[in-house]
Structure 1
Amino acid sequence: MTLTELLDALNAGHTITGNSPLHHVMHETSQDALRVTGELNGGYHPPARVRELIAELVGGAVDESVTVFPPFHADFGKNITIGKRVFINSGCKFQDQGGITIGDDCLIGHNTVLATLNHDLEPSRRADLHPAPIRIGRNVWIGANATILPGVTIGDNAVVAAAAVVTKDVPADTVVVGSPARAVRAVAG
């Protein structure tokens, strides 16, 4: 099995069975992510070097307008897409196996967690993984300590308040707060 085959399965939403060949490829890929994030988080790096390390982590180009403040953690790395003029503050954790897409002009607050995998509820199948992507639109602001769960899409210009737990899609131009997050008002335009 290859990384390409794993990404195809993850992006199609297929269950990754515990201890399967695809599960093993996922764990091997995670070792590379741990190596890169270890270097990233092991000391000071100028912004250009941070972007180089993030590009190595995701396996593709990262625009020079992107800013990431370490520490930053990703336990897979190869299923993240970052737009232009994105700011990711320190302490963020991305579980990206299911796919994370961040649109242009987004602000991601301290200690935000983006989680794209669920384990199976059946105890005998608990090692099985169910991927679902997180899609963050353009110009989204996610406050500190927010958690975005698998399968969530956040619409353009939305605001996720600090410490919110987002369990379902957020419409464009909407402010959500709480756990579980609920809409409280529209974004003034």
Structure 2
Amino acid sequence: MDILERMRRGELIRLDDPEYPVIEELITRAFRITGELNAGYHDAAETRAVMSELTGELIDETTWIVPPFYTDFGRFTRFGRNAFVNCGCGCPQRRIFPEGTVATRKEDGYGLGYRHRQFSA
């Protein structure tokens, strides 16, 4: 199972994981894409196209996203039909703990929260 699948499943990922460069590349990519999105005017269709590039999923034409939009990863962000995302929305998807572990956000049935809440150094 690759590092993205492990992240999707909510596993803890260490910064020294041999596959972590994949994550670093996607983080850099997310910053580039959101930087371009947030730096100028884009109509609704252009915004959906940019966000589709960020998420790797086609954004439905009924979804309205008003930039600026912020994320530290973006690959696991999903938007449903008829969704409205207001300006200034932030969608963090990773959290790095002092011991060099990365936790990803995962749907827990009660809202979006960190799947792993207790850590030991």
CA distance 1:84–1:70, change in 2 (3 Å): same
- How many aligned residue pairs are there? 116
For 1:150, the equivalent position in structure 2 comes to: 114
Q: What's the C-alpha RMSD, in Å, of the aligned pairs?
A: 2.5
Q: Is this contact kept in 2: 1:16–1:22, CA < 8 A?
A: no
TM-score, structure 1 as length reference: 0.55
Query: For residue 154 of structure 1, what is the aligned residue in structure 2?
Result: none
Larger Rg belongs to: 1
1:114-157: per-residue Cα shift (whole Å, max 9, x none)? Answer: xxx3444xx5x2x11122413689xxxxxxxxxx6424xxxxxx
Tell me, in whole angstroms, the C-alpha distance in 2 between the residues paired with 1:132 and 1:42: 27
Aligned equivalent of 2:87, options 73, 90, 99:
90
**AA at the equivalent of 2:47:** V
Deviations 1:138-177 (A, max 9, x none): xxxxxxxxxx6424xxxxxxxxxxxxxxxxxxxxxxxxxx
Distance 2:56 2:29 in 1: 11
- Which of the residues 63, 71, 74 maps onto 1:74? 71
- Shift of the 44–23 alpha-carbon distance from structure 1 to 2, 3 Å rule, reads same
Q: Structure 2 regions of 5+ residues with no counterpart?
A: 116-121
Task: Using CA pairs under 8 Å that are at least 6 residues apart, name the structure with larger relative contact order, 1 or 2.
Answer: 2
Matched, 1:128 2:113: no
1:132–1:150: 8 Å Cα contact kept in structure 2?
A: yes
Q: Secondary structure at the match of 1:7?
A: helix
TM-score by length of 2: 0.82
Letter in 2 for 1:76: F
Cα offset for 1:30?
0.8
2:9 is aligned with 1:45: no
Point out the structure with the larger strand share: 1
Aligned mate of 1:16, from 13, 17, 29: 13
| CA shift in 2, pair 1:132/1:71, >3 Å | closer
CA contact (8 A) 1:36 1:53 kept: yes
Q: For the residues of structure 2 that align with 1:13 and 1:63, how far apart are their CA atoms? A: 26
8 A Cα contact 1:7 1:79, kept in partner: no
Q: Partner of 1:76: helix, strand, or coil? A: coil
How far apart are residue 75 of structure 1 and its match? 1.4
Structure 1: 5+ residue stretches without partners: 97-116, 138-147, 152-189
> Aligned to 2:48, what secondary structure does the other structure show?
helix
The aligned counterpart of 1:26 is 23
